[in-house]
Amino acid sequence: MPKAKREQPLIQSIITAVETMGIEAMPVVANIGQETGLGPDAPHLVFLGTSVMSGTASALVTATGPKTMFGDIAARLGARMGDTEFERGLRRFSLLILRTTIVLVLFILLIGIWQKHDPFASLLFAVALGVGLTPEFLPMIASVTLTRGALRMAKDGVIIKHLPAMQNFGSIDVLCSDKTGTLTAGAMSIDRACDAAGTAAERPFELAFINSTFETGMRSPLDTAVLQHRDVNVAGYTKVDEIPFDFERRRLSVVMHVSGETSRHLLITKGAPESVLPLATANEISGLTHPIDASARARAVATHARLSTEGLRVLAVAYRWIDARTVYTVADEAELVLAGYIGFADPVLPDVAAVLRDLKADGITVKILTGDNDLVARHVCAQVGVDASQIVTGDDLTRLDDAALGHVAEQAMVFTRVSPAQKDRIMTALKRRGHVVGYIGDGINDAPSLRTADVGISVAGAADVARDAADVILSQRSLTVLHQAILEGRRASGNMMKYLLMGTSSNFGNMFSMAAASAFLPFLPMLPTQILLNNFLYDLAQVTIPSDNVDREYLRKPQRWDLAVIRNFMLLIGPISSIFDFLTFYVLLHVFHANERLFHTGWFVESLATQTLVLFVIRTSGNPFKSRPSLALTITTLTMVGIGLALPLTPLGTLLGFTMPPPGFLLFVAGATGTYLLLVEGAKRLLMPRT
């Protein structure tokens, strides 16, 4: 089996492997013939892992377990999918911190050796600084933040299967969905049955009822609507064979023995009009059969178009009498008599137009991927306010290469008559264009797209394979609930970003100050244990960030890992922090004539106060006096600052190498901290995009 290219999405690799082995990705008819070989191209084989959609057969087992062809690709199916937006952002951030830490640690170690400090003490000092720069609470903060969001959504019936999906929710800027069940109620009901001329007729419904009653595949909502509409007496019919549905033919046929008929059987076909009408050579009008000429065909097409324009989903029903035998194939679906059409109504959800407006206002583009034709899609989209001025059909997609598809996928809002493979292509094209894509699906054919999307969303009543492939399960298919989940994801993203901005900027400033101080001080600017304690108290002040309030303005657009903002914060806010550290050094050495213990104490208190209280400024892109922090965050932040101020007065502080600072120095710390927060507020307005 040829290996899939490494850059190919996993799902495409699996499909390629499956097709190479002769295993079909979509339902096909398998027939016993004269073949006796066991190669992958033998059409009489049934492979392990195959789902039997319909029909009956007896099979002989020739291989089991890993010896089967299915077992040969089991490892591929179990392989990890490509990184999500959350994982990509986390990896980029980790590399940024790693590079910065290595440079600073090596610089400080070299300075210590150059200053002829004790090598072991210098090494411990450098390592302590590296630990101080690392946001070691990030896994905890991320887990708690995402878990809180997941628990909130669970109350609304949204089950988050994988925690990173919570943050990915906040990054979604394109949401793809089928029309049925999202824009519409998904409850099909028969609106009318008519012949090809549009005249009311019972014959199409009766034949469709027989077909739906005896088919053995998975019933669609259309089948359910037919069977629930009213009963038809099928006592005189016995099933002979079935030609199952597949997504390429888009039709299904059953072959029936009719009482009183000895030499012929009745083949009944139902499916998409575009699939059935070309096979018809006659139609049935008012109970009489007429050959289909150009005029009659045009009339049949016009009837279908008129029903579709009214927003009805149309099913074509046809039949033929055929010589009796035991096995039938797709080739027998020919020379059909078109009995007519059945129109199904699926009402638009009452609140969907308002929800779509809210999603658009919050920066989410909703794209419709449907198997219906463009007329039905256009009618429904007009009712709910979706732009259907540019509709792309499945036939259009087959003519586009990947580069062209990426452009089209961004521009068009509605895609009609798309196959499962084409849906997957659209997902991949959008991701390659830099979008974070969510996909709603509940059928077997939606599984590839659910896995390909950054966030796969399914519903509780979906097919097993769809639920397994999804990251999120909705108890009910509701765009309102989904919108709330997206906002909750943005809230989680916002709180994690607060931790990253605060941690990287303050930590970098402190590490930069220590690196510079170690170059001219005759002693270490702070003992390793004091550095770790300072960092520990600072981190404890942030443990309640997941509970913090998030500005409404922040929730109005998709939120992604913005490494440029993080890096700029680190490179600008960090040095501002260092300026106040250097001012503290000067005051301690030249105003208070500090010894080593007082220097350690003074800087410990000043650095803890500035880098902790700055959270109240960084936590919002707006005015910090108008954006209220949560009560828990306020308490923990002030408590940690209070502990830092009180610690030098305790016996534990003495053991840690602290001493009581003079009152005048504490007044200096208060003034310096206030000035520092004002400067950070000004710098923040330059760096942080206003939301």
Catalytic residues: 178
What gap in Å lies between CA 533 and CA 531, rounded to an integer? Answer: 5
Q: Are 524 and 117 spatial neighbours (Cβ–Cβ below 8 Å)?
A: yes
Query: Cβ of 645: how many Cβ atoms within 10 Å?
Result: 16
Report how far residue 520's alpha carbon sits from residue 530's, in angstroms, rounded to the nearest whole number.
Answer: 20
Q: 264-271 and 313-323 as β-strands: parallel, antiparallel, unpaired?
A: antiparallel
Cross-strand partners of 177:
368, 440
The residues, any chain, with a CB within 8 Å of residue 297's CB and separated by 6 or more, are 277
Q: Phi/psi at 682 (nearest 5 deg)?
A: -65, -45
Q: Which residues contact 190 (CB under 8 A, 6 or more apart)?
A: 205, 225, 226, 229, 342, 343, 344, 345
Q: How far apart are CA 459 and CA 185, in angstroms?
A: 14
Integer CA distances (angstroms), 172 to 82, 100, 451, in order? 16, 30, 15
Contact 604, 668 (CB under 8 A): no
CA–CA gap between residue 150 and residue 105 (Å, rounded)? 38
Closest by CA position to 506, among listed 357, 610, 390, 355: 610
Determine how many CB atoms are found less than 10 A away from the CB of residue 591.
12
C-beta neighbour count of 373 within 10 angstroms: 20
Kindly report the three-state secondary structure assignment for every residue of 492-530: HHHHHHHHHHHHHHHHHHHHHHHHHHHHHCCCCCCCHHH
Alpha-carbon span 402 to 423, nearest angstrom? 13
| Element at 173 (helix H, strand E) | none
